[in-house]
Structure 1
Amino acid sequence: MEKEFVKQLDLWHKKDKHQDIIIAITEVPEAERDYTLVSYLGRALNNEERYEEAIACLQSVQGQGANDPLWHYRLGYAYYYQDQSVQAVEAFEHALRLDPEDRDIQMFLRLSRKDAGIHIDTESDAAESDSQEDQKLSPFKLVTHDSGNISLILSVGSYKREVFASRSEEGFEGNGYDWASLAAVFLEEQQPELAEVIRFDPEADMFVAYTNHKEAMLSFASAFKEACENDVLIHDLFSRAELD
């Protein structure tokens, strides 16, 4: 496989051009697709919400993916969004055994266990089980981790789409990186005391903020959600966001 082809796939992924990735890879004869290409295809199918196809694609290289945490993560991701929580738990548990420090794996494993009704008896369950807080922050979700970190996550795409559409001609698409740019302006202007505490770790399809200071995260999550519901304020803040 040519390095230039992989570079192009990576560029499309960063620009959220997942359909271009799918088209390009499926034009390669199936017999000539190596593990890397199939993995890229599975990721792109996930990002296009074609989860059944992603599962079939990833399972076609199951043997090669057995010791790859990313393979298990992507499979778990597809199961999770197909509401197949038990299968998602199994996949994320495999991924975590292979990469115990990965925050995204930890986060999705907790969410999957919660959806599957699997109770893990730790102090951090208190934050997850607080249904009133979950309702107040929806569609954001608070997730606590055994490491002591607490994350605020959002699967991007539909929530506040109109905010990002207002600057679409500049390249904003409403992806996780764009949300992080918006959140950075919010922190700087609305909660500067937390700017050194709250960190961002976005992906194309997900906004993630995290910290090991629970009270700081609760303050940020509540205030940021309130700002998002204030159309005048959130558009004003976004007017100063910088494209990543």
Structure 2
Amino acid sequence: MDEGLLKQLNLWHNKSQYAKIINKITEIPEADRDYELVCHLGRALNNQENYNEAIQYFLSVQEQGEHDPLWHFRIGYAYYYLKQYKEAIVAFEQAVVLDPEDSHGNKFLEMSRNAAARAGNETNHIVNVEKGMRSGTDPRLLEIEEKINPFGLVAHNNGSISMILGVGKYKHEVFQTRAEEGFEGNGYDWGSLAAVFLEEKMPHLVDIIRFDPEADTFCIYTDNKEAILSFAIAFKEACEDDSLMKDLFSRAVLD
């Protein structure tokens, strides 16, 4: 791919200008689109919630993507949000095999396994919340997940728990109030908002909650189960109070 085009596509992605990416790539004749271009197109379609179309593009370069963990992650992402959890699990498992250090691949794999378990899908991969207890059958964890939707909870085998959100439409209008300053509503912006909430509303958890956001994903984690469940409930309640959220966001610092 031309380096200038790649730089432009990445700039648009970082600014959440996904429509520009889609328009630019689809202007290029299909025969002239290489593997990298198709993957950029599929990622942009994912971010526009056009998951079925994204999957079709990813499948068109399946052979080239066989050994690319990002290809497996991105098609798994589309399957996950289409609630096709079995397919998502297969994709994320391969992504993790190819890149064991990919924290987001691991998180989405566990989210897919938990979602599959809750949906009653057949799977042997149920994540342990704590010794002797499975997340898929932990009534308290499931109850809290329902309360904090669209945020999710991911229980890890090492004992830590993450609170995660695939950013997009949820409360996007709040971030638009400071768009001129560079805020876009991406994962880093959500992290900045959550940091203000943590410092002002739950300062006793400042040294316990850890942040690990990416452009398309907000994520916090800790090995203190009670702390993150308490934070999750309180933060979701704050997000539903638009005036409070805008007040907190007014003091957020652009990352």
Is TM (by shorter chain) over 0.5?
Answer: yes
Per-residue Cα deviation, 1:190-214 (whole angstroms, up to 9, x for no partner): 2233223322222333211122332
- Judged with a 3 Å threshold, the aligned counterparts in structure 2 of structure 1 residues 122 and 25 are, in CA distance, closer, same or farther, namely closer
**Runs of 4+ that moved beyond 6 A:** none
**Take 1:159 and 1:78, find their aligned partners in 2: how far apart are those partners?**
18
Within the alignment, does 1:238 sit opposite 2:249 as a pair? Answer: yes
The answer to whether residue 151 in structure 2 is matched with residue 140 in structure 1 is yes
Give the AA of the match of 1:120: H
Query: What letter is aligned with 1:85?
Result: Y
Could you say what secondary structure the match of 1:233 adopts?
helix
Change (3 A) 1:78 1:123: closer
Check 1:121–1:73 CA distance in 2 against 1; reply closer, same or farther (3 A cut). closer
Taking the aligned partners of 1:162 and 1:23, their CA distance within structure 2 comes to 24
Does the Cα contact within 8 Å between 1:52 and 1:78 map onto a contact in 2? yes
Which letter maps to 1:22? Answer: I
Q: Work out whether residues 128 and 155 of structure 2, in 8 Å CA contact, stay in contact via their aligned partners in 1.
A: no
Letter matched to residue 12 of structure 2: W
Following the alignment from structure 2 to structure 1, what is the Cα–Cα distance between the partners of residues 162 and 32? 40
CA RMSD of superposed structures (Å)? 2.1
Contact 1:127 1:142 in 2 (8 A): no
Distance 2:169 2:67 in 1: 34
Alignment correspondent of 1:152: 163
Residue aligning to 2:19: 19
Q: Does 1:184 align with 2:184?
A: no
Pair 1:121–1:163, CA change in 2 (3 A): closer
1:55 aligns with 2:55: yes
In 1, the alpha carbon distance for the partners of 2:181 and 2:223 equals 34
1:232, distance to aligned residue in structure 2 (A): 3.5
Specify which of 156, 160, 185 is matched with residue 174 of structure 1.
185
Matched, 1:86 2:91: no
TM-score computed with the length of structure 2 as normaliser: 0.86
Give the direction of change, closer, same or farther, for the CA distance of 1:2–1:219 in structure 2 (3 Å limit).
same
TM-score, normalisation: structure 1: 0.90
Letter aligned with residue 13 of structure 1: H
Amino acid at match of 1:77: Y
Provide structure 2 residue ranges, at least 5 long, that are not aligned to the other structure: none
**1:176–1:205: 8 Å Cα contact kept in structure 2?**
yes
% identical aligned pairs: 58
* Aligned length, in residue pairs: 244
Range with greater deviation from structure 2 (219-228 or 167-176): 167-176
